[in-house]
Amino acid sequence: MSRLVIISNRLPITINRSAGELHYHPSAGGLATGLNSLDEDYNKLWIGWPGQDIADEWEKESIRNDLAPRKLAPVFLTEREIDLYYEGFSNKTIWPHFHYFTEYTAYNDDMWSAYQEVNYKFFQETEKHLRDGDMVWVHDYQLMLLPKLIRERFPNISIGFFLHIPFPSYEVFRILPWRKEILDGILGADQIGFHTFGYMRHFLSAAYRITGYEHKFGRLHIDEREVNVDVFPMGINYDKYADPDANADTDQSSGEIRKLHASRKIILSVDRLDYTKGIPHRVRAFKRFIRNNPEYIGKVNLIMIVVPSRANVDQYQSLKTEVDVLVSQVNSEYGTFDWMPIHYYYRSLNFAALTTLYREADIALITPLRDGMNLVAKEYVAAKEDSKRGVLILSEMAGAVYELNDGAITVNPQSHQEIEEALLEALEMSGEEQQLRLELMQVKLKRYDVKHWAATFIKEQKKLKDKNRMTNTTHLGGDALDEVLKKYQEAEERLLFIDYDGTLMNFHEDPQAVNPDEGTLAILTGLADDKRNNVVINSGRDRGTLEKWLGHLDVEMAAEHGVWMKENGEWHLNPNVVDGWMPKVMELLENLVARTPGSFIETKDYSLAWHYRSIDRDLGQKRVREFRDMLTYLIQNQDLQVLEGNKVVEIKNAGVNKGKATSHWVGKKNWGFVLGIGDDATDEDIFAALPESGVSIKVGADRTAAKYNLSGVGEVRKMFKTLLGKK
């Protein structure tokens, strides 16, 4: 039975102290609902803070014993840690910064240190419980360092991470002094989830620009791991809000809400007090609506529910004061003896009152300035399951807009005019159109509910875990390396095909700056000195460079993917190559370089290569697409091939490749041992040309036909040293 270890800042149980005794209450929120709904096949353990500062060791032990039967493990935080880690770095640094309120971001080293310390404290508790075969799911911005901490101690365990708030654009994220540490922390996970594609795209962009990891369709390769970055929009418990009979109405305020609705249209606004929610903007927009549309005076009410939050933070205190003043101004300016435009409640509502408001409200006005998802919008739509009457006005800055945009009226929350126009449209909308819009949204919300969200994330993480375990490519270490070493030692005649860039030497922005170092020369000299070895450097490099760097060694070479071959100390040209096409393509490439500073052309005897290693990756990909389109018309009916390597595009004769050069040497005699090693797509031709008994080795974690893989140049060198009998 699989075990799922869930780690979040808060447990689904909150501890409160009353009259000297501890009381346990369920924590509110969709996360607990979704994860508790997971298939019972998962034996769940939940690790988190229980919401109370507990200092007494006896009391801590008592809480552990109370929570253990519920499969909950508490992490106890001190007052200082709550202040610096939670109220500090999490809510005064990450929260404003990730929501684009950089003017509120605090850059404080003490808070950062506390954040690191508490993430490590969560790791220490996690370490006590983890065992082989577990799957870990870490949640949200308070624990972004935790995946890496777990990975370092448990390298083979499956780790998921989900961010419940927006991930900002690279230009905003890069401002953080601790940006790389945060990214490295998250990238310790195997699967990383976001609410929207935009957040996912921003994360991948930051990962590339700050840590250098490139992705292919959301997949990153880090060391020997494949990391899946994907979109998993969080849903709600649809039935809980859709079925009014399932939640008995026992709240006296529900009747008052119905009386109010009997005489007036209700516009509903529900938020936690937070500067990201756009509450003052909403009040000003409603004031504009009343001023410009006096026919609605006395006929509509804005009911504003503002739930208290972080009352000890300066920005929140100022926000509360601003909202109080604005509401007072609107009511005093436009109110009458029997009508107040805004009914403002600074408190939370119980479930019965809230769902009554959802069901009775004609319009939900949900206009955050920035919001990771916003489940209130979804709850409102679900509550209309029975009546099919109501209009959702939704900010285009809320994550939920990508699921609800076919039914909601979307607005820019900064535009008072757009909100005014949306209110008019909603108030005048026919019942038929309201029903049509609601049904479109409800179909989605029923299917993609919170249970679906949790189950899908875990399902995809499990698929990735199984895939990584069942891959056909074996890491060349341990028993696998011993087996290859044995075959190597027993063979009397050996043939070794070795790529250069990315295999023997790491890449560099300047291709000429990777001349062989002492380590590479020592390995090649050692291999060549063994008379049983025939070493072939099979590279895309031009012959002049290979000759200058390696010509003094007793090795053979294939240059420009087999255009030139060096055998018995002499270079000879492949008879299938022509160069009449090169001037036209050179003109095209020169135009490309003129428009792309930082890129350059490498001219070889019978091929041309355009390098874009030092430019923006997205710009490079755009230029590659342009180049391919133009090249299609330029070289029609010519036997040319375009190869895309690591930040390089090469044009060469199609009848020549590394595989054909490999076949030339393989066919010379019956070799006792044949090895081919390389790092990019061009080296797949080498692997395909090896005999069935050949040893094919892919450097890196990309998809490959090779039997074995090594993570990088460092492991390649260790492997060759093992073959040479060196440590």
Active site residue ranges? 499
**Could you give the angle at the alpha carbon of 8 between the alpha carbons of 5 and 13, nearest 5°?**
95
Which residue's entry shows tokens 């053979």?
Answer: 556
In angstroms, the CA 331 to CA 297 distance is 11
In angstroms, the CA 34 to CA 378 distance is 15
Backbone angles phi, psi at 691, to 5 degrees: -65, 165
**Could you give the angle at the alpha carbon of 417 between the alpha carbons of 412 and 423, nearest 5°?**
85
Partners of 136 in the β-ladder: 5, 159
Q: What is the DSSP string of 151-184?
A: HHH-TTSEEEEE--S----HHHHTTSTTHHHHHH
In angstroms, the CA 17 to CA 1 distance is 37
In angstroms, the CA 339 to CA 359 distance is 22
In angstroms, the CA 675 to CA 697 distance is 8
In angstroms, the CA 8 to CA 31 distance is 9
Q: Comparing C-alpha atoms, which of 555, 627, 629 is closest to residue 596?
A: 627
Q: Are 576 and 664 in contact (CB under 8 A)?
A: no
| Edge-to-edge order in the sheet of strand 158-162 | 72-74, 43-49, 3-10, 135-139, 158-162, 191-194, 225-231, 219-222, 215-216
Q: What is the DSSP string of 358-369?
A: HHH-SEEEE--S
Long-range contacts of 504-508 (CB under 8 A, 24+ apart): 504/713, 504/716, 504/717, 505/713, 506/712, 506/713, 507/613, 507/646, 507/647, 508/613
- Six-digit token pair at 430? 């026919």
Q: What single-letter amino acid sits at 256?
A: E
